[in-house]
Amino acid sequence: MWQRIRTLLIKELLALWRDPKSRGILIVPPLVEMCVFAFVATQEVKGVHMAVLNQDQGSVARDLIARFEGVPNFSEVRFVASEREIARELNSGDVLMALHFPPDFSRRVVSGESAAVQILLDGRRSNAAQIVAGYATEIVARFNFELTSQQNSVTPASVVVPRIWFNPNQQTTWNSAPSLVGILTTLMGLVVTALSVARERELGTFEQLLVSPLSPREIILGKTLPALLVGLAEATAMALVGVFLLRVPFTGSIFLFYLATVVYLVAVIGVGLFVSSLAKTQQQAILGTFMFMVPSMMLSGFASPIENMPVWLQNATRINPIRYYIVIVKGVFLKDLPAELVIANLWPMAIIGVVTLAAAGWLFRHRME
Amino acid sequence: MAVRLLAEVRQVTKQFRGNSTPAIDQLSLSIAAGEVTGLVGPDGAGKTTLIRLLAGLMLPTAGQVVVCGDDTQTGTNHLRHVVSYMPQRFGLYEDLTVAENLRLYADLRGVIGQPRDDAFRRLLAFTALGPFTGRLAGKLSGGMKQKLGLACALIHTPQLLLLDEPSVGVDPISRRELWRMVYDLVDEGIGVVWSTAYLDEAERCATVLLLNQGQQLYFGPPKELTASVTGRSFLLENLGHSRRRVLSRVIKRHEVVDAVIQGASVRVVIAADAPIPDVAGLGVPHAVLVPTAPRFEDAFVDLLGGGPKHESPLGQAPHDPLVDGAPVVEAIGLTKQFGNFTAAKDISFRIPRGEIYGLLGPNGAGKSTTFKMMCGLLRPTEGTARVAGYDLHRAGGAARRRLGYMAQKFSLYGDLSVRQNLEFFAGVYGLSRIRRRQATTRVIETFGLAPYLEQNAGDIPLGFKQRLALASAVMHNPAVLFLDEPTSGVDPLTRREFWLHINAMVEHGVTVMVTTHFLDEAEYCDRIGLVYHGHMIAQGSPDELKDAARSDDRPDPTLEDAFIELVEHYDRQPV
Amino acid sequence: MTASQYNASEDSDSWRAWWRRVRGLSRKEMIQIVRDPSSYLIAGLMPLVLLFIFGYGVSLDLRQVPVTVVIENTTPEANSLLRSFSNSRYFIVEQAVHRKQAEEDLLAGRVKGVITLASDFSDRLGRGDSAPVQILVDGSDPNTAGLVLNYAQGVWSNWLVQEAIAQGDLVPREHLLPIVYLEPRYWFNPEARSQNFLIPGSVAIIMTLIGTLLTALVIAREWERGTIEALMTTPVGVSEFLLGKLIPYFLLGMGAMSLAATAAVWVFNVPFRGSIPMLLAVTALFLLTMLPQGLLISTVTRNQFVASQAALIAAFLPAFELSGFIFEISSMPPAIRILTYFLPARYYVTSLQTLFLAGDVLPVLLPAMATLATIAAILLSLLVYKTRMRLE
């Protein structure tokens, strides 16, 4: 039996590599995503244009504005002369944020009264706006600190001291590279499985396999093992790219990483097998994979925290294996995730894997008829 | 009587990028109005390319194509109004109903108003599709799709009608009806070009262009070509059970140009000016050589240089020889239901050791369902299928190890090399490493695959694909061979060679079940089972089946006549 | 049958005939769309899934984020600060006495922030020393980390103001009051719901799917089935052929957009402050940039598998990642930012966000529409150039 499976495995890998179409899928998306996604998927806001309406004559306002100009995130500071101009700038989307200093601003500060600065934000890009508001808050807080210490020669009031664990410099790639490992491993696991069966059907060789001494179980194994191998290879390749090219640290256990990847791939391959049981052509397999991947990726916590979802949806994501895998991958890269936390995320995947593989295997055998 | 020329092809060559040989090489012919011009040749001969050139869908690399007075290079606009084209697979919109298809083509051709209603009425009657106007074109049978395709092409009155392999996969009755319709058209003065791989259809055309590998072998009336072998065709009769052995001996004679099995006899074509061969040395007493009328195929093979002359080295006994007299392949009451639809009902037959059994029948009538049940691809709703003594469903693995399978259209792994394909099949059938090497070497030599070993299986010529498919099926020396339309689209020489291999294996005890649409190929079988409407309506040797159609007006019926007679007889019976 | 009976009068060369052909082809295409399961999958199911995801699943806002406040020494000030955090709608607060457990929770992802008030917090406040409030966040999720920091800072500042006003004698005033404070106002999206900007953006993604993926697939399938070949031998010319395909998919796209927009407003409570004619105009222009892409892909590939891959990689992915709908364009590296100038989806996303949240802001909409029109013109010309009524 093993010899037959090995023959099937060799044939699958050869066919996968030699068919220009599937070779395309193996190479192009990872390459493209590596170049694009790694740099694009950031929530840090840079290159912000801001507008300032300074109706004040004093130096305090000028000082504060200078602080903003000094921050690299703000690439352009435009001075406007009226509220209508602010409106125009904000409306047209040319600026994301605008500061409005009232005429009595500096006077109030100098006399020890509190003074307000209006900050207007473009809510159409509300996420970026909130983050930029955060930057502004930080800048103002630091300004306050200095003001108080200058003015009162007393130790100023406390400030909040932030400490950022695991990614102290808030580097984009440290977040996106582990996610990339997750995404591409998923893609490969799904696509290779779904394609291999669909291709066989399209070529007409599927009947050839069914008439041969191969048992249905051997055929399933022969179709899923290549996906496992390719998925592992992909995960390794992406991890290497992350570590050596993008300089993301890998702080955790390599063994746990591979263990988790294997378990995860088993779960994902089950889904791929399911899709391929339904698909009659390679193109249908691609569409089916796509239709599964987009929602499950988006609802996995990779794009936005699961805690932000409504409770009923959060519970629904418990059956999404990607959710657990992303946690492990990020943890293994950035947090040196201890074994018990890895295991805590591993066993749900294992269960999901067993279920999907069993169900898919049944459907597949049923459809082979 | 001057014949009006509709189209002229002048020294046309068509070279596709990336191919080393041209698809069409310096062809010249003319298409006349009021008659059927046949384009005959195997797959890859260039028929479709030529038709596309005539339709103006492609331009020649060299030479000129002039249709109805316009050179296709410059004037396709007028062309489109006077030419109708029916591509392979009929050009129908499967998601549209019959009526919607017709209406669309009427809109595209500008047929409106009263003439449109008249045309619809006439065409629906002509094609007998009246009761089916609301049915989706994708749900029609092969014959009906063919007729609908023709109706759409005839919404307007073309001067030239181009039909690309219109009779592929269609049952003989529908095929005859189609010819009848085409003759009617031709009587109206329309010129029809009909391309086909079936050589017997060539004889129905007024003029025939014989193509092989893009080159013109013959252009003219088919009768003239057939006449060129007058007096050289004979039938060897009274051969008993040794016809295959006789065949392999006869072809080695140097005066014999071609030899094939025809029913219980062997048909022989001798070289021009050769003496009549002597039957004494054949080792069969009572054998008689009887002259017979020549066939178009005889002339074709003669033109191609004659059939294969060597014996097949495939002479090894099966790996698990079965010595007892039990039938090797058995179908007992096979029935298959798909929901409400009964695809096959109570089909039974037995194939003893060393016999070639042919499963025949129109598409969609249960033949493929039966075949698949015998291969283990479909589970019968009722009944049993046994191969080599094992029940296919209870002892599937053991049964399948003993059978070899050749799928329709030679399903091969196109992206793998020839060698990789062979190694795959050897491995899957469980051959140990040593035996694998032996088997691969053996088939490479037998089938002459050496020049193509490292090329992708998808890129080799069709004849070699077929050889590779057969090679892959026999490496494990199976006791039973299932062949699904094994020679579709292949040229006659390759077909003959293929059957030499099969015959050699059968002589050593292999049992073969084959399905085919070539009725002359059905003659090679020992027995035939005809499946129609899900029932086995006739079983017997080819000659026995022909007896069903023998009558005083028709003393020498072909298998096609027999087929049609049997089917019509079945249809006439009260339900 | 005689030839005269056959001779139906042919009207093939007038404008009426031209229009008849276009209409016949469009009708054929519409029938096929309705009877084809892929249409429902790509134009029906997928849009619903996308709306669902961006309506309920993806939210970039901070809401009910679990944090732990570690108070090493319980004092009234500490409790008061704790109460401020608890009352904030952004946080769900757990209290702890020791840092260790809280830090483990952070590592495991059970909480997203740990706010620590050291044991001498109140003392130092009272003395007028700097009494730091330490906040620890998980940097591997930068979005949440940044927002947690921002809001925590806000809670702290507000608490200082409150304390100074409410208990003026507790701590010397001038030590506490922040002199300068920010009054934030979010224009167009006062509640700062991320749904409000994600959902209009997802309409753009839906249009991309229909405009390129669906058209590329369906037409590649026609090539594979051989019906286009037959079509080419009829009097149909390039203009009729293209219009016969563009019109039905255009209508389908507009219909899908209307459905999606209606769902956005009625189901997901996204405001719509623009005008409907403007929405239709912008969508029409965007579709005119997407449809030629789909048709070009199918003409060039003539194969469903390659067509679907090409559509996904060349149209969908860029629309998803580079249009500014979910990732900020200004934060992208310069090379990629330049690329986005050529992406129609970018202009459509901006227009949609403006139309929904702001209204008919002409300085935004007119340049976007002009760019879309230009891109559409270029792509349509390319399409006409590449379409021939011959097989090669």
CB of B532 within 8 A of CB of B362? Answer: yes
The residues facing C115 across adjacent strands are: C69, C135
pLDDT tens per residue across span B2-17: 578 889 999 999 999 8
Whether B108 and C236 lie within 8 Å, measured CB to CB: yes
pLDDT tens, residue by residue, B111-145: 888 989 999 998 998 888 888 889 999 888 878 88
CB C353 within 8 A of CB C365: no
Distance CA A197, CA A279 (A): 9
**Phi (first) and psi of residue B351, to 5 degrees:** -120, 115
- Mean pLDDT for C248-260 is 93
pLDDT greater than 80 at residue B363: no
Closest CA to A52 of A39, A68, A31, A36: A68
Q: Strand B215-220 to strand B207-212: parallel, antiparallel, or no bridges (unpaired)? A: antiparallel
Q: Is C44 on the interface with A (CB under 8 A)?
A: no
Only one residue has tokens 């062997």, namely B266
- Report helix, strand or coil for C96: strand
Between chains, do A18 and B415 touch, taking CB under 8 Å as contact? yes
Using a CB–CB cutoff of 8 Å, tell me whether C8 touches chain A: no
Which one of A18, A26, A212, A221 would you mutate to disrupt binding with B, by most B Cβ within 10 Å of its Cβ? A212
C190 band by pLDDT with thresholds 50, 70 and 90: confident
| pLDDT over 50 (residue B480) | yes
CB atoms within 10 A of CB C388: 12
C11: contact with B, CB 8 A cutoff: yes
All chains having 3 or more CB pairs closer than 8 angstroms to chain B: A, C
What is this model's ipTM? 0.81
B273 to chain A, closest Cα gap in Å:
48
CB B479 within 8 A of CB B457: no
With cut-offs at 50, 70 and 90, classify the pLDDT of residue C127. Answer: low
Tokens in use for B193?
A: 């070009």
DSSP reduced 3-state for B489: coil
Contact criterion met (CB below 8 Å) for C332 and C340:
yes
Distance of CA C361 to the CA centre of its chain: 20
Window 85-144 of C: residues touching A by CB (8 A cutoff) are 106-109, 112, 124-125, 128-144
**What per-residue confidence (pLDDT) applies to C8?**
39
Place of tokens 């992802």: C109
Question: Burial, A50: exposed, middle or buried (Cβ in 10 Å; 0-12, 13-18, 19+)?
Answer: buried
CB B445 within 8 A of CB B410: no
Min Cα–Cα distance to chain C from A213, Å: 31
Give C203 to chain B, closest Cα distance, Å.
Answer: 29
> Nearest to residue B6, comparing CAs of B87, B85, B82?
B82
- Asked if A201 has any chain C CB less than 8 Å from its own CB, the reply is no
User: Is A66 within 8 Å of chain C by CB?
Assistant: no
d(CA A194, CA A277): 8
Pairing of strands B329-338, B341-351: antiparallel
Question: Residue B478 above 80 pLDDT?
Answer: yes
A205: nearest CB among B379, B411, B429: B411
Span B492-504, average pLDDT: 90
Q: What is the mean pLDDT of chain C?
A: 84
Give one word for B256, left, alpha or beta, with left for phi > 0 and alpha for psi -120 to 50.
beta
Task: Tell me, yes or no, if B141 comes closer than 8 A to chain A by beta carbon.
Answer: no
DSSP assignments along B430-485, one per residue: T--HHHHHHHHHHHHHHHT-GGGTTSBTTTS-HHHHHHHHHHHHHTT--SEEEEES
With H, G, I as helix, E, B as strand and everything else as coil, classify residue A121. Answer: strand
Instruction: Calculate how close chain A gets to B315, using CA atoms only, in Å.
Output: 23
Identity of the amino acid at C215: T
CA distances from B25 to B61, B489, C86, C296 (A): 10, 20, 87, 33
* Nearest by CB: A298 against C53, C149, C178: C53
Q: Which residues of A touch C66 (CB under 8 A)?
A: 307
Q: What is the SS3 assignment for A202?
A: helix
User: What is the spatial distance between Cα A223 and Cα A198, in angstroms, rounded to a whole number?
Assistant: 11
Q: Is B86 helix (H, G, I), strand (E, B) or coil?
A: strand
pTM attached to this predicted model: 0.85
pLDDT computed for residue A154 by the predictor: 47
Whether residue A304 and residue C157 make contact (CB cut-off 8 A), yes or no, is no
**pLDDT digits 0-9 by tens, A246-296:** 888 888 889 999 999 999 999 999 888 888 888 777 778 888 888 888 888
Calculate how close chain B gets to C338, using CA atoms only, in Å: 38
Say if the Cβ atoms of C331 and A42 lie within 8 Å.
Answer: yes
- Say whether C1 and B126 touch across the interface (CB within 8 A): yes
Q: Which tens digit of pLDDT belongs to each residue from B60-116?
A: 999 999 998 888 888 777 888 899 999 988 889 988 999 999 999 999 998 888 989
Instruction: Identify the sign of the CA torsion C284, C286, C290, C295.
Output: positive
> Is the CB of C305 inside 8 Å of chain B's CB atoms?
no
Q: Return the pLDDT at B317.
A: 59
B333 φψ region: left (φ > 0), alpha (ψ -120 to 50), beta (else): left
Render pLDDT for B211-223 as a digit per residue (tens, 0 to 9): 988 899 999 999 9
Q: What is the pLDDT of residues A304-335, one digit of tens each?
A: 778 778 888 888 888 899 989 988 998 888 88
Give the integer Cα–Cα distance in Å for B346 and B366: 11
A164 has pLDDT over 80: no
- Chain C residues 26-85 within an 8 A CB cutoff of chain B: 27-28, 31-32, 35-36
Q: Is A9 part of the contact surface with chain B (CB cutoff 8 Å)?
A: no
Predicted local confidence at residue C10, as pLDDT: 53
Dihedral of CA A249/A252/A254/A256: which sign? negative
Residues of chain C with C-beta less than 8 angstroms from the C-beta of A158 = 124-125, 130-133
SS3 percent helix, strand, coil of chain C, rounded to 5, is 70, 10, 25
Is A132 an interface residue toward C (CB < 8 Å)? no
Q: Are C230 and C15 in contact (CB under 8 A)?
A: no
Those of residues 221-240 in A touching chain B at CB distance below 8 A are: none
Contacts of B474 in chain A (CB under 8 A): none
Average pLDDT over residues A81-107: 88
Interface of A with B in 285-304 (CB under 8 A): none
C-beta separation of C360 from C274 below 8 A = yes
Q: Is A2's Cβ below 8 Å from some Cβ in B?
A: no
Q: Is C235 on the interface with B (CB under 8 A)?
A: yes
Give B370 to chain C, closest Cα distance, Å.
Answer: 28
Percent of chain B beyond pLDDT 70? Answer: 97
| Contact: B110, C230; criterion CB under 8 Å | no
- Interchain pair C11, B110: CB under 8 A: yes
Structure tokens at A244: 């050596």
Q: Residue B376: its chain A contacts at CB < 8 A? A: 210-211
Q: Higher pLDDT residue, B117 or B362? A: B117
d(CA B244, CA B260): 9
> Does B115 sit within 8 Å of C12, measured CB to CB?
no
**Residue A265 Cα distances to A23, A29, A229, A325, C205, angstroms:** 20, 18, 9, 10, 29
Nearest partner of C194 among C74, C384, C58, C44, judged by Cα: C58
Comparing CA positions, the residue from C119, C115, C114 lying closest to residue C75 is: C119
| Cβ distance of A141 and C178 shorter than 8 Å | yes
Chains that touch A (3 or more CB pairs under 8 A): B, C
Which tokens hold the place of A112? 């020890």
**Predicted pLDDT at C5:** 36
d(CA B570, CA C115): 90
Backbone angles phi, psi at B182, to 5 degrees: -65, -35
Tell me which chain C residue has its CA closest to the CA of residue A93: C364
Q: Give burial (CB, 10 Å; 0-12/13-18/19+) of B141.
A: middle
Could you tell me where the DSSP H helices lie in C170-237? 173-176, 194-208, 215-225, 227-232
* pLDDT band of B1, cuts 50, 70, 90: very low
pLDDT at C26 over 90: yes
In residues, how long is chain B? 575
Output DSSP code: residue A64.
Answer: H
The predicted pLDDT at position C177 comes to 55
The rounded mean pLDDT for chain B is 87
Give the confidence band of C1 by pLDDT, cuts at 50, 70, 90: very low
State residue C203's pLDDT score: 92
List C residues 189-218 in contact with A (Cβ-Cβ < 8 A). Answer: 189-190, 192-194, 196-197, 217
Q: What is the pLDDT of residue B127?
A: 85
DSSP state of B130: G
If one compares B316 and A304, the residue with the highest pLDDT of the two is: A304
Facing A212 at nearest CB: one of B378, B379, B400? B400
Contact present, A140 and C205 (Cβ < 8 Å): no
B157: left (phi over 0), alpha (psi -120 to 50) or beta: beta
Sort out which chain B residues have CB atoms less than 8 A from A203's CB and list them. Answer: 411-414
Minimum mean pLDDT range among B138-152, B268-282, B511-525, C214-228: B268-282
* Backbone phi, psi, residue C101, to 5°: -65, -40
The torsion angle over the Cα atoms of residues C235, C237, C243 and C245, rounded to 10 degrees, is: 70
Closest approach of chain A CAs to the CA of C290, in angstroms? Answer: 19
Using the predicted structure, report yes or no on whether residue B326 has a pLDDT greater than 50: yes
pLDDT of A147 higher than 60: yes
Contact call for residues B160 and B190 (beta carbons, < 8 A): yes
Contacts of B403 in chain A (CB under 8 A): 211
C65 touches chain A (CB under 8 A): yes
Residue to test with chain A: of C41, C151, C305, C320, most A Cβ within 10 A: C305
- Total Cβ atoms within 10 A of residue C56: 17
pLDDT confidence bin for C355, thresholds 50/70/90:
very high
Q: In terms of CA atoms, which chain A residue is nearest residue C156?
A: A160
Q: Do A14 and B401 touch (CB under 8 A)?
A: no
Q: Do B377 and A207 count as a contact with CB atoms less than 8 A apart? A: yes
Chain B residues whose beta carbon lies within 8 Å of the beta carbon of residue C236: 108
pLDDT for B513 equals 95
Q: Is the pLDDT of residue B316 over 70?
A: no
Reading the block at residue B203, the tokens are: 């004889």
Of A32-46, A267-281, A339-353, C2-16, give the lowest mean pLDDT range.
C2-16
Residue among B291, B172, B276 nearest B230 (CA): B291
Backbone angles phi, psi at C182, to 5 degrees: -100, 140
C19 touches chain B (CB under 8 A): no
